[in-house]
Structure 1
């Protein structure tokens, strides 16, 4: 059941939104146009589910009107509709690809401020999110582990096994956001490595991790 409704004119063009809270406390003969929220946010039929979820979470709204190119009302989409769609996407098996593969493929190397600085970027896709539409803890763990793995390969060929990891999840990250990962090697030996990792979104620190890894030679 919704508590937010679009207001349209005689041509079905969306001119505002009204909520039950807006109506409460007013006289019965007060016109809706006097208390509605004008110029509301809308989406079109071609807006992605991910973008709709981002708008809803970011703006704190439960319902968005769906309009055509002429701003005529076509329907509404609720946060519940969006979350159901995202969950369906997550359940759909990707042929030959695991979630770890998806995360690994999204993680790309970018240029740092200095020649020796490695920065990785990763865009948050629907498959990486939880039921709230934000990046899941498990995916964030996979991202920082993969970033540490790649940066340690620059020091020593082989694979790593995480022996100890401490993660601080500071701020939720929305769908379609781009995370920048800054891994910094603190120590590296013949059989171990220690990496400090910071994650940023739009310049804001969203997570940190400290990893102790065992390095395994490839034979």
Structure 2
């Protein structure tokens, strides 16, 4: 018996990959910018480390909170829409059958087959069929606030750990260039991996993330140096 053929497409990994890269990038850029800004103000090494750790924790909690609120709103909307769809099924089942049939016809099925498919699916799980094919809601895409919040906090923390460790371990004399260089290198690697996994050109992806990250850290360093000079 021939083995089952399972196709793999790059688009399948785009969603989670994009979220992972963006979360890690945010952690690296935010924390590295904090470190470079405070270090440029000629702050004591202990205060720089404290700033990095505070930035890591605050950033992770902020990401988790924002994601939880956003996804919770999405979950509330999904519940309301599903409740409305269930009410419509209870009120006029034949009409909902015709509606689902029309959806399958628009997707290319002949009317008799579309009607039969709609009948079978609605007999098995009417709300599930309408949620998936009419509303675009499935078990895979359902909003999960706690899971999303935890994942967002973890992604940010992973990225923020690098500049925080550099701030803690690097000698004060080379802390600023070490933080900047390590951040830009890691961001370039992340950008390249994301581009390659998504089938895009690696060069533009690397240049884009490195340029904007360098700009963010440069502005932070400039502000730190300005206020440090004033102080």
TM-score by length of 2: 0.23
Higher relative contact order (CA 8 A, sep 6+): 2
The structure carrying a bigger helix percent of its residues is 2
In our comparison, the structure showing a higher alpha carbon Rg is: 2
TM-score by length of 1: 0.24
